[in-house]
Each structure stands twice: as C-alpha cells, then as structure tokens.
Amino acid sequence: MLRIYSACLLILLHLTHVWCMTDEKREQLRDETASLFKHGYEGYMKYAYPADELRPLTCGPLYRDTDPNNFGINDIHANVSMTLLDTLSSLPLVHPEAYPKAIQLVAEKISFDQDVKVQLFEMTIRAMGSLLSTYQTLDELPNDPIEQYRKLGINVNNDSSAWSWAATKKNDIVDLKQYENRMLELAHDLGKRLLPAFDTVTGIPYARVNLRTGLLKGESIETCTAGAGSLILEFSLLSRLTGDERFEELANKAYLALWNRRSNQNLLGNTVGTHGHWLAPGMSGVGAGMDSFFEYGIKAGVMLDDDTYSDIFYDSYAAIQTYVRTGDGLIYRPIQTRLLQPASPSIIDSLSAFLPAMQVIAGDVESAIKSHLVFWNLWRKYNAMPESFVWQERRIEWAGYPGRPEFIESTYYLYQATKDPFYLRVGEKILNDLKTRTRTKCGFATIKNVMTGELEDRMESFMLSESLKYLYLLFADVPFPNSNTVFTTEGHSLKMPKTLLKSPSAHRRLTRKGENPTCPVYQSPQVGSTDSTSGIVLGIEGRDDYDYARGLVYGWDTSGPEIKDGKRLWYDGGICKIPSAPKFAFEIVLSPLNATDPTSVPPEDPSPGPSKVNQDLLTGNYHITDIEGLRLGVRWRFDGKGYDVANIGPHRIRQGQNVVISDSALKDHLAVPSSPPIDSYSPPELLLRFISYLNTSAPLSLPSRDAGQVLLHAIGATATFGLDFIPVTASDFESGSTSWRIGDKPVRLIIPPKENGLAYQGCTVKSLEYLGINHDSTDPFVIMVSRGGCTFLDKLIIAKEIGAIGVLAIGYEPLKEGEPVPPERKGESVIEDQGLIRPSAEYDNSHPEFQKLGLNNIGMIYTEWLIGEILRKLVENENKVLAIEVLNIDSNQQEVQSHKLPDITSSFPNKNRKKFTHQVEKQGLLMVGQWPIMNLKVTNKALAFQNGKPPESG
C-alpha cells in the first residue's frame, strides 16, 4: 500500500511541476559548494597571494596594469591582496578552518598606504565592507581562544591540516580577539584615504581617488549613480563605530544629491557629473550604473531603521514599475529619462538580476518571481548569464560571464521567501555549470563567450565572496538577515547595533502613528481551489507565466494558428496566456465636477493645510474635509488586493494608515462603488442574543421577558440589502410595536423541520401550519433557513411571502475530510463554511424592485452552521420556544456576560426628553477599474435618526 501511495505521489508531483528535493540532496549540494569554494580559495592562496587576483588558467598572480586607463583591472587592484580581503567575511561560514590564518595575514600584512588610483565604490564595497563585517564577527566571538574556534566550527582536536596554512592543532590556536580593533583601524584608515573624493560642490563624489595622494589633477568628473549612491551602508556603520561622523554625513549627502536631481517621474539617470548634471546618454533603468543605488535604499532603511532611505526606495521603485517595467510585468529595460521611450536596441544586463532579491526584501515577491524567470531562462539557455541580452531580438550583445553573483543572490532570496524547491533546482543547475564550465586546475575562470565556452584568465574576487557564498547559503537553507542586518552589494553582512541606532524625531513618530508594515506571505498557485487555501500546489513551474517567460528568451514557434485577441499566443507547447501587470502607480485628482467644463482640473494645492487635511493623532489616519486641489498618489499593493493611497500631496501615507474623505462635495459627483455594492446603514456585524422559553402554553405569544433564559450569544453578519439594522427609536419602543432592529424586543425564531434529512433552505413557500404557527397568531417571527438551493435574495422574497419580518441564514455544514461535495453545493463560490459572509444581491435597496416587493422592511442576518445546529437541538430535543434579539457588537460586555437583558426604556424617563439619536457612517471604496483603493474610505456621516427615519442617502 505504501508503494502504491508513493508512486501516485510521484505522478502527482510530476503533473503539478512540484519536484521536491530531499534534505540529503540539498546538504550534498551544500557540501559540494563548500568544496568548490575551498578549491578557489586554496588556489588563490597557493598561486597568487599576496597579489590582488588569481590567473586561473595559468595559475599565477594578476597585478595592476601599467596602462592607467585599464580601469577594469586597476579600479580594484590596490596592492592589498583584494581576493583575500574580499573573501574574509565568507570564510567563517564556508571555510572556517582557513579563517584564523586569514585574519592574521590581513591584520599584519595589509596596508592601504599605496600610491595607486582606485575606484571609490569598489574599494568601499569590497575592502571596507569586508573589514567592518569581520570586525563585527570577531566582536561576537567569546574571549577564550578555544571557545572561539569551537564557535567557528573548527575542530581543535584534529592534528591534521587540510591546508598547509590552516591552523587546527591546539598549540597553533590564535586568539582572534586580539585582531578585532585592527580590523576597525584598517577600515577607518581606508575611509580617511577615500575622503578627498567628496571634495565637490554638490556632494556627488569623484569616481576615483589615489589612496596616498588623494584627488589627482584633471580627474574626470564623470561617475555613475550606483557608484556615487552606494556608500551609505559601509560609511554609516564606520561613522557610528568610530564616532567619526564625516563618513555618514558625506554618504548621505551624496545619496540625497542624486535623488534630488530626479526627473518629474522620479527617474534617475545612470551617468552624472560631480557638478550635478546628468550626462549622456540619459538612460534610466535598473542595470549597470544604477543597480545598487536602489539596493542601498531599501537596505539602508532596514539597517539604519531610517525611513528617509526606504521612502526613497519605494518612490523610485514605483517609478521603475511604472516606466521601466514592460506591460507583461517581466522585463525591466532601459528607458530614456526625458522621452520615456525604451532604448533601441533594448537590452537587459546581468547586473539587473539583482532586482528580484530587492523585490523580496521590499515585500513584492510576486514581481520578484516574474523578473527572476527571465534571468532563469537566460541562464538555462546559455548555461551561464551573458553580460547583456537584446531581449526584443533574442540575441546576445555581450557574451561574457565573469562569475557575477546577482542571479544567484536573487535565487537564494526567492527560495527563502517561497520555500519552493524550484529554486534549489535552479541553484543545482548553476552549481553544475560553474563546475563544468569555469573550474580550472587552480580556481575559476571568466567565461569570455557563453556560446563558445572560451575562457579568460581572470578570477574576480566576487566569485568567492558572493557567487559561491550565496550558493552555499541557498543549499544550507540559511535565512537572509533582517532586524538592522543586511548583506551589502558585495555580500558582506553588516549589522547596526541597537545602541547605535538613532532615535526617530518627534515629527517622524507623529507621522508614523498607526503604521503597521507587513510583508504578504507568498501563496503558491493551486489547482482545485477557489480561495488559495486548498487544492493541489503547482509551484513556480506551474504558474501561467512560466512558459511565457521561456518564450521571451527562446522565442515562439510560428507554425501554430494565429490568435487575434491579443491576450494569448501560440508556442510549441500549445497556447500561452499573455500576462498583463496592473498599472503600478498613478495620481488621482479629487474635485467637484465643473458643470460648464467637466474636463477641467483645478490647480494643485502644493501644501494643503489643516482646513483640508488632518491627521488623527490617535489612529494616524488622515481625514480630508475639503477635496479642492488635492492630488492623491496611488500605488499597487504587494498582496495583489488592489491599491493604496501612498500620499496626499506632501503627506505620505504609511502602511496601516487610512484616508477618510467626508467632503459633501462628493455627494453628487463622485461614485463610491464597492464589491459588492453596499447601500446599507447596517453595521457589518451584530451581536445576536438567543433566549429560550419552556413550551408550556399553546398560544404563540411570547411569555413575559423576565421568564426567558438567555441561552447563548453569537456574531452575525448583516446583508447588504433589505432592512437596515438601525437602533430602535424611543417612539417605536414606547408604542409597543416590534421590529427586527437593534435594541428592540426579542422576536420569535421559527426553525422549520428537516425534510429527507436536509434543513429547510427557504427556497419554497411553506404554510404556517408546516412551520407550527397558529393562524390566529399575530406575533412577528424570524425564520431560520440553511444556505444553498437559491440566492439570498430569493430566500428573503420567500420569507416575505410567508409573513416573516426577518431571516436568520445559517452557513454550510463543514465537509468531513474526504467527503465529496454534495450536488446541491457544487458551483457555489464557497463550498465549505468559511466563517461569516455578508449576504448580497445584484442590486441594492435603491433599486425599484426592492420598492415593488416591499423588501426594505424585512432583514437578513448570516451566522455559522454550528449556531444553527445548537438552536435546532434545543427545539427538537428540549421542546423549547426560541427568540432572537439584535444588539450592537460593542454592547456592554459585563451586561452580556451576566446574561441580563437591558432595560433600554431607562434612556427615556419621560416623553418630554429629547428623542434617541444615533450616529452612523456610510462608507464605500473608490474603485480603479476592477480594483479597489483599499485604504481610501469615502464616508457620508448621518446624524440624528428621527422617528426611525434614516437621513437622505448621498
């Protein structure tokens, strides 16, 4: 039996594209990655150290080029053993046995007093980042040297050494804590040698500086956005660890100087001068020259807990999603910053593969999956990642692959976000390709041409510090850092200690009231589920856009039939749906319509004051009382449920805060649709009180209220049509009339008998005799019906014909595990009882049909199946008469728990007192096409229900 089940499971997994990977296999891949890392590190130390890089084909050192214009080499080669330095922070994780010796070499041999011109960006991310990360690693080690080795995972009892320079014998143990301050001293020394690059009017630094002599005469003013704007992580941590504030101040100034030069669409160029002007060609995007600017925005927000940076990231990300992303949601291509037209030819480069990782950190996992699929198909087509690819023509522009880590990093982040084994298989493919295509006798070579396999005699330091490190993290299933900890753009882990975090300003604390940031949990696509909580899990390869992404890279078979609807296309596997991403960000203008010119737009109020916009100091919500001249920025929600207002002019709306509009000018001019339409003054939920009486008298008239016994309380959801459940007024209560309203007398509850074992669904008219009601009785009653068989509106119509004043609708009975869905329940939107729902109809109370049928004075409340079962047993088994009473959901809890019935007449001691009034608020959601703006509420407050009459609708 077990064998049969296993075979079926394998077939099921094959059909749904979810191929699992065992823990044993994953750990095998982890160990294999570690072995490759050790191979590359050992090769460098044996054949190249103390040079900056290894020549992996000739097994020799690679030094600076005598040609000063060879920036590709000289920007990185500072005569500081760069490969050792850059790899230092990875050793404790992947190869801890080599760590003690490496620490000694860095501490005792490396000096930045070098007469070399290097790139500010590369020296910061490779050297300074590694030193700071190493300092923090050493700071967390215990004081006892033996315990240090044990914490690092080094077997101190092993007398044999894997490498000649690795100390594992007890008598070779080195106290690593003695080098802790040296790491910080080296980082500080390097930082001070880089400061001359910031000697500009704008704060945008020069790209290059001499480590000994500073800024050279005639130095080029040209730099890139990523190079000038990706310093804030390392420089901020250096400042706070040393107390030297210059670094953080300069990095912050550079970052803001770039952002303050953005276009009206929040786009940045990729090349800028230190004087502050964008240089040709004036392209924006997420690839080379721009990538890490966005990365450091979101990561600085995490590490520094500073929304200055995260706000910039989300603003720039909205621009990327709006202008850089293609309509299908998969391609991010360069775009002209002024004309907003894609470049021609339009390329995607390997550096832009960093984006899915940033999208995961930002919470947009759905977009991350889509963008990653394009790079995945590029990798599996060429067995490596070409430097640039002309995606519209499906051809390679630059065929090299130097072992870049960006695609691997994004694969690691997406696996941690989704836990989909697909990403482990992607990692396995990458690992095998690196092993078979780039491994040499002493290291890993650069692929000069991914199509021919030609190699180049160079191993860049990020092959070890990032590419193999992220593969190891993927297979080791190590969660990515959070809580003021990040991986830098070079893969170094940096953490801002809690004691060094800056307290938010009073203004920041005020504007963030009510903030509730959340990251949506990824839901795998499923078959056989209407609510994404049940069904067969498909996985990434079962997504609708998986084959479409493949076609973008591999092309489409033109032999298939032509499809003219523009939403599908033919490919060699059948017909593929063309995905379409909703518009990500836009602006809406709130204004009363101009009768003479409906198309006119009023001038914007650039700084709306408290007479128009106010923030509630308790909830953090923003209230708009005057819409004239207001612009609302709207953005797509990462949970896919619709949109949120992101800003009201200069006022930023935080996640969790709502915007409430109560301007009467919207009454006649702004539609307030919702799904479904709700035109009801009823609260969404009410408290139901059930009272039982002994059936001792033949007449149906209820006994005295004092004779009843409170049985139970339950929550009910009101229908969006029919009777409005408003509080009873004093005049109604004193007149003795009974209605099904909040605070009114209990009403008799009728539970019809079952037929053929099925509860009465309320879809056919039943006689009063069938219901057990005497013809002479004038008592009002509510009838209980079961869900299914007909619409909620049909049930209300039937109940009206029978003579009921209300309907208590009961949910479906939950299905037992393995139980088939009954025929009468198939086709329903919800096949199991999923809790409370609000019964709805195709049209609301204002529709003429309601007036014609007289349905405005009969109400419906929905509650769960279990409540109905309890009530039925009381009637059938204990021969009780039941009544139902409706209360506000926020009724006094002490009163509810004590089972005392309220005497609401105490509110009206005499007829001369002011009549009972109640404030209700009618709300709706503004729609954008089929999507609601979730945090924007349009209200129409109504005061003083006089004589039971609600205010005029508007």
What's the CA gap between 952 and 954, in Å, rounded?
7
Check if the beta carbon of residue 141 is closer than 8 Å to that of residue 151.
yes
| Residue of 75, 248, 387, 490 marked catalytic | 387
Annotation says 406 is catalytic: yes
What's the CA gap between 234 and 165, in Å, rounded?
30
Annotation says 456 is catalytic: no
Radius of gyration of the chain (CA): 35
CA distances from 651 to 603, 609, 632 (A): 18, 10, 9
| Residue of 86, 97, 234, 291 marked catalytic | 291
What's the CA gap between 572 and 551, in Å, rounded?
9
From the DSSP assignment, how many helices (H) and strands (E) are in the chain?
29, 35
Which phi and psi angles does 498 have, rounded to 5°? Answer: -55, -35
The helix (run of H) or strand (run of E) holding residue 41 is helix 23-47
| Residue of 406, 409, 663, 813 marked catalytic | 406
CA distances from 859 to 717, 806, 945 (A): 11, 5, 19
Which phi and psi angles does 252 have, rounded to 5°? Answer: -65, -45
| Residue of 122, 248, 732, 744 marked catalytic | 122
Cα distance between the two ends of the chain: 66
Question: Tokens 């702004």, residue?
Answer: 670
What's the CA gap between 133 and 234, in Å, rounded?
9
Quickly list DSSP for 362-416: HT-HHHHHHHHHHHHHHHHHHTS--SEEETTTTEEEE--B----HHHHHHHHHHH
Question: Tokens 């790209």, residue?
Answer: 207
The helix (run of H) or strand (run of E) holding residue 150 is helix 145-152
Those residues with Cβ within 8 angstroms of residue 172's Cβ, 6 or more apart along the chain or in another chain? none
Nearest Cα residue to 209 out of 121, 293, 128, 272: 121
What's the CA gap between 295 and 230, in Å, rounded?
8
Those residues with Cβ within 8 angstroms of residue 323's Cβ, 6 or more apart along the chain or in another chain? 265, 267, 284, 335, 340
Two tokens, residue 542 = 């079962």
Annotation says 769 is catalytic: no
Query: What secondary structure letter does DSSP report for 197?
Result: G
Which phi and psi angles does 284 have, rounded to 5°? Answer: -120, 160
Binding residue per annotation — 124?
Answer: no
CA 35 to chain centroid:
36
Two tokens, residue 486 = 């990040």
β-partners of residue 446 are: 456
Those residues with Cβ within 8 angstroms of residue 737's Cβ, 6 or more apart along the chain or in another chain? none
Alpha helices in 153-245 (DSSP H): 180-194, 225-229, 232-242
Annotation says 952 is catalytic: no
β-partners of residue 758 are: 755
Quickly list DSSP for 426-446: HHHHHHHHHHHHTB-SSSBPE
What's the CA gap between 406 and 154, in Å, rounded?
30
Q: Strand, helix or coil at 82? A: helix
Which phi and psi angles does 828 have, rounded to 5°? Answer: -75, 150
Instruction: Cite the annotated binding site for Ca(2+) by residue number.
Output: 489
Known binding-site residue numbers: 489
The catalytic site residues sit at 122, 291, 387, 406
